[in-house]
Amino acid sequence: MSTYLWVAIGGALGSVARFWMGAAVAAVTGPQFPWGTILINIIGSFVIGFFAVLTGPAGRFVVPGDARAFVLVGLCGGYTTFSAFSLQTFELAQDGEWLRAGGNIALSVVLCLLAVWAGCAAAAAIAGVPNHR
């Protein structure tokens, strides 16, 4: 099976898991604060870090590249892209690249928030509404 297919299957499963978890947490806590998203991001960050180390070159278990792609890119990527961001930032910090780790954090948060704003503004302009809300 092609690596792309494994990534697609993992992505589909991760997306469904994210949808379920978000709904389950919102049913308990209410929709006023994104507790579900925070929990999803924490779980995804834990899973990507755990699996990356456990199955990496110096890890305890040797797994095929397709299995790593299924979990790290597909499952975690579908569940939350925040996990990839977290792993990359952690690796920069672990390598002593504190400025780059901080830059990754600042750029990711600020630029992604700006991108959300720009997307909302563009959609509102196309829809002819003054605000997306």
Separation of CA 114 from chain center: 18
Distance CA 65, CA 56 (A): 10
Tokens 């977290």: give the residue.
86
Instruction: Quick: pLDDT tens for 10-67.
Output: 999 999 999 999 999 999 999 888 899 889 999 999 999 899 989 888 778 889 999 9
pLDDT band at 133 (very low <50, low <70, confident <90, very high): low
Q: What was the pLDDT predicted at 2? A: 95
